């Protein structure tokens, strides 16, 4: 399965945040949209970073005033990304190797979607269910 197939199922809408927004604004958006991470961008296309719930929690542990800091203070600037034509298997390896749960999808360097570990698991379960059904039908028709 390819990443573009996952995006077709889940949609390509990406909730983003600007780097100068406060961490408090970030937390509100994460809560409002029930998300685990947001892409940081000033223009909605160029990825400047990514920021997750984990980033907030880890920073809160050492700095309770972080809620008033800009998102740029806690975001990850070195963002791992993928392209729509790449395989989901490749993405699983990327996520595992780098211990990340959200990966922006880029087309010609511009933001085209985001894939979460939950999206990957859902697509893999769908593949396994399809294979199971095919095998069940095969066995049933050969007896």
Q: What are phi and psi for residue 48, nearest 5 degrees?
A: -100, -20
How far apart CA 123 and CA 10 sit, in angstroms, is: 10
Please give the chain's pLDDT, 143 residues, in tens: 899 999 998 888 999 999 999 999 999 999 999 999 999 999 999 999 999 999 999 999 999 899 999 999 999 999 999 999 999 999 999 999 999 999 999 999 999 999 999 999 888 887 777 778 888 888 888 76
pLDDT at 43: 95
pLDDT at 86: 95
pLDDT at 135: 83
Between helix 23-33 and helix 53-62 the angle, nearest 10°, is 140
Domain ranges of the chain: 3-142
pLDDT at 125: 83
Q: pTM of the entire structure?
A: 0.85
Greatest alpha-carbon span in the chain: 68
Q: Do the beta carbons of residue 17 and residue 26 sit within 8 Å?
A: yes
**DSSP at 36:** S
How far apart CA 90 and CA 49 sit, in angstroms, is: 21
Q: Topology of domain 3-142, per CATH?
A: CBS-domain (3.10.580)
């Amino acid at each position: 399965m390819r990443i573009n197939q996952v995006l077709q199922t889940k949609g390509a809408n990406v909730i983003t945040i600007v780097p100068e927004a406060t961490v408090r604004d970030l937390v509100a958006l994460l809560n409002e949209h029930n998300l685990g991470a947001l892409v940081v961008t000033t223009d909605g296309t160029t990825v400047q970073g990514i920021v997750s719930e984990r980033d907030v929690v880890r920073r809160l542990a050492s700095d309770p005033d972080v809620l008033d800091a800009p998102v740029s203070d806690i975001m990850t600037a070195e963002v791992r990304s993928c392209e729509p034509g790449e395989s989901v298997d490749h993405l699983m390896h990327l996520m595992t190797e780098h211990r990340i749960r959200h990966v922006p999808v880029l087309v010609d360097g511009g933001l085209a979607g985001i894939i979460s570990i939950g999206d990957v698991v859902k697509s893999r379960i769908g593949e396994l269910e399809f294979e199971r059904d095919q095998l069940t039908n095969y066995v049933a028709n050969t007896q």
